[in-house]
């Protein structure tokens, strides 16, 4: 059944013994929503916990407080936040497949895996939906506002991405009124980079190839680079966005050399070139503005292949 | 006389023939406020222009529209926005010293140079004050909302800096409701970097010195680096903030080699070290968390001098 925020608030009020699930490779939105919902339910006098997520990184460790479920907790009601499908459950949540009674989500692609669904696909962050639900019960306090702010701010790149709406800013304003330290959150998530990450970015700049007067950028991180810089997967996260910020670049290609003689390519394009068509020629695909493919071969071979593919699509 | 936003709105309504001044090295706040005020006054049926500012960069050129004053414009009323003192007038505004009838500003350091002052020092951006004034007259339209959004967003680093308040977000929400393309503004100002700037950042990372297990970072840009990378002043703007984002760094020193055998140092510190004291030992000064000084000598000599100064303050 589809529930509005008001109906979801009532549905939750009528139940108890909550376990809240977050998604695989959890981000600030799923974690922030889970913690805020847990605190809100407890304020209603309920028993509520968040299922520990084995993929959670240290970036979020200071937010959990005492919300994490002990291993022997037996829930009566299982709720998921910001999870679009059961395929996105972390391993720890596998046993709850088919058992989620309420999914709260903002992904239009939600598969409807839960018995009840509270979906608002026009919201930039699931945190905006949680704010609507919690405020059906009471004004949020600073303890709930902090994780909700993390949710809303991280899913919008600190109000920078195109998903940011007037509602996103209104929710941020209301959350900040509670008085938590938003500047510290912003500093941690948006104004801090690791030394290794910055070395990776520097390496990319030193080895970048530009074509067509700078309209096409080819960037690569080799296995040798990774080893020399001691770069982990976390250090390489969303590295295509780094290349994509280059002024004047219309098509950016980020190449990561993988073990086993393969390269993984991420292609971002302006509206004059379809990235999905370009990657499709090499067995990949995705969206018109952002696609990917995997190529057998070395980095120079991958560069040659993607340039040939770009030229073919440009000429057609 | 001090005027509230309501009083300033009435004061402006009672006059005509407006020339609006922006500050030296104009940023998004002063430019956005000037354009929005000009459009607002025109909507009231007034004659209004913005004085062209010779320091304005191309980053803002798309916003001016037809607001710039022709060279023969003779104003009846001169208003300044976001200018704290006459010392911050651009050269083009020098002849208006002593003639500003209303200053609209958010700097607590405003010298009171104008006959009337509308000052709200708790506002992150002067754009928030302009929003209050304009909405005394009518709801802002998209044409006024765009430059006001530029003002508010750029002065807060896209809602990231500690000056951001609930009011900042509320104003952003109201402005975005008018329907201009905020995502395009964010892309231009916060998600675009020049190739040269990124090469400068890469060079800094390649040559950075870390001390005390990474708690102290010494970064430098030499004259040779600048020449090799063809880096302009604009490419080096706020480069200390780049170094300041390094995870784990408590004290960051950014050194710029100048012509004539000097180095300019920017020092940022955590609360355990007073940057002003450190720089004071070398003839400089500033704030506890961010200070600067100029040292006669080469980059290696500047590094040695600042490290000695840091050690002396740490030991005292």
Q: What is the pLDDT of residue B287?
A: 84
Return d(Cα B41, Cα B32) in angstroms, integer.
14
Contacts with B166 from chain A: Cβ below 8 Å: 172-174, 176-177
Please name the residues between 157 and 176 in chain A that touch chain B, using a CB distance below 8 Å: 158-162, 164-170, 172-174, 176
For B195-231, how does the pLDDT look when each residue is reduced to its tens digit (9 = 90+)?
A: 999 999 999 999 999 999 999 999 999 999 999 999 9
Whether pTM > 0.95 for this model: the answer is no
Give the closest-approach CA distance of B218 to chain A in angstroms: 13
Please name the residues between 250 and 309 in chain B that touch chain A, using a CB distance below 8 Å: none
Contact check, Cβ <8 Å, B195/A246: yes
Is residue B206 within 8 angstroms of chain A, CB to CB? yes
**Distances in Å between the alpha carbon of B177 and those of A121, B145, B168, B184?**
18, 9, 14, 15
Q: What is the pLDDT of residue B125?
A: 96
What architecture does CATH give domain A5-190? Alpha-Beta Complex (3.90)
For B178-187, how does the pLDDT look when each residue is reduced to its tens digit (9 = 90+)?
A: 999 999 999 9
Give the closest-approach CA distance of B55 to chain A in angstroms: 22
A77 DSSP β-pair partners: A18
A241 — pLDDT class (breaks 50, 70, 90): confident
Non-local CB neighbours of B50 within 8 Å, separated by 6+ positions? B19, B20, B22, B34, B35, B38, B64, B67, B68, B69
- Reported CATH class of domain A195-315: alpha beta
Contact indicator for B169, A170 with CB cutoff of 8 Å: yes
Contact check, Cβ <8 Å, A201/B199: no
Is A268 in a helix, a strand, or coil? strand
Phi, psi of A7 (to 5 degrees): -65, -40
Question: How far from chain centre, in Å, is Cα B300?
Answer: 31
Is A276 in a helix, a strand, or coil? helix
Q: How many residue contacts between A and B have a Cβ separation below 8 Å?
A: 114
Is residue B227 within 8 angstroms of chain A, CB to CB? no
Whose CA is closest to B251, among B222, B285, B211, B281? B211
Give the closest-approach CA distance of A85 to chain B in angstroms: 29
Contacts with B193 from chain A: Cβ below 8 Å: 245-247
Nearest residue on chain A to B163, judged by CA atoms? A183
Provide the sign of the torsion angle of the four alpha carbons A7, A10, A16, A22, taken in this order: positive
Return d(Cα A202, Cα A148) in angstroms, integer.
34
Provide the sign of the torsion angle of the four alpha carbons B44, B49, B55, B57, taken in this order: positive
For A19-67, how does the pLDDT look when each residue is reduced to its tens digit (9 = 90+)?
A: 999 999 899 999 999 999 999 999 999 999 999 999 998 899 999 999 9
Residue A20: which H helix or E strand, with range? strand A18-21
Helices in chain B by DSSP H: which ranges?
A: 5-13, 28-43, 126-134, 142-155, 166-176, 182-190, 195-207, 223-229, 239-244, 275-280, 299-315
Q: What is the pLDDT of residue B233?
A: 84
Q: Choosing among A195, A200, A246, which should be mutated to test the B contact, i.e. which has the most B CBs within 10 A? A: A195
- The average pLDDT across A101-128 equals 96
Contact check, Cβ <8 Å, A164/B158: no
Q: What is the pLDDT of residue B234?
A: 83
Domain ranges of chain B: 5-190, 195-315
Asked whether the predicted pLDDT for residue B238 surpasses 90, the reply is no
**Cα within 13 Å of Cα(A66), Cβ side:** 2
Residue of A168, A177, A186 with shortest CB distance to B160: A186
- The average pLDDT across B94-99 equals 98
For B168-194, give one letter per residue: b (16+ CB within 10 A) or e. Answer: bbbbbbbbbbbebebeebbbebbebeb
Size of chain A, expressed as the number of residues it contains: 316
Please name the residues between 36 and 55 in chain A that touch chain B, using a CB distance below 8 Å: none
According to DSSP, the β-strands at A216-221 and A251-258 are parallel
ipTM score: 0.90
Contacts with A183 from chain B: Cβ below 8 Å: 161-162, 164
Contact check, Cβ <8 Å, A195/B206: no
**Distances in Å between the alpha carbon of B185 and those of A236, A237, B153, B158?**
27, 25, 9, 10
Give the closest-approach CA distance of B228 to chain A in angstroms: 13
Q: What is the pLDDT of residue B283?
A: 95
Nearest residue on chain A to B192, judged by CA atoms? A245
């Amino acid at each position: 059944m589809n529930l509005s925020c008001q109906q979801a608030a009532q549905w939750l009020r009528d139940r108890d013994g909550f376990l809240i699930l977050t998604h695989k490779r959890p981000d600030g939105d799923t974690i922030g929503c889970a913690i805020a919902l847990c605190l809100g339910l407890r304020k209603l006098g309920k028993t509520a916990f968040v299922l520990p997520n084995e993929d959670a990184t240290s970036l979020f460790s200071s937010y959990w407080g005492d919300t994490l479920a002990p291993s022997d907790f037996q829930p009566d009601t299982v709720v998921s936040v910001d999870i679009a499908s059961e395929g996105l459950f972390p391993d720890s949540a596998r046993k709850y497949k088919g058992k989620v009674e309420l999914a709260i989500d903002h992904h239009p692609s939600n598969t409807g895996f839960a018995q009840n669904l509270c979906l608002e696909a026009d919201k930039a962050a699931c945190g905006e939906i949680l704010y609507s639900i919690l405020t059906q019960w009471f004004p949020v306090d600073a303890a709930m506002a902090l994780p909700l702010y993390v949710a809303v701010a991280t899913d919008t790149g600190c109000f920078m991405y195109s998903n940011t709406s007037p509602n996103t800013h209104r929710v941020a304003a209301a959350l900040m009124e509670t008085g938590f330290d938003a500047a510290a959150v912003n500093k941690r998530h948006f104004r801090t980079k690791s030394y290794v990450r910055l070395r990776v970015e520097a390496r990319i700049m030193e080895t970048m190839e530009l074509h067509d007067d700078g309209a096409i950028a080819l960037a690569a991180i080799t296995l040798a680079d990774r080893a020399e810089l001691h770069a982990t997967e976390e250090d390489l996260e969303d590295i295509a966005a780094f290349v994509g910020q280059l002024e004047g670049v219309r098509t950016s290609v980020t190449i990561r050399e993988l073990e086993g003689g393969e390269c993984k390519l991420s292609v971002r394009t302006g509206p004059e070139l379809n990235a999905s068509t370009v990657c499709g020629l090499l067995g990949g695909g995705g969206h018109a503005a952002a696609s990917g493919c995997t190529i057998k071969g070395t980095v120079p071979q991958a560069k040659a292949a993607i340039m040939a593919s770009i030229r073919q699509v440009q000429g057609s």
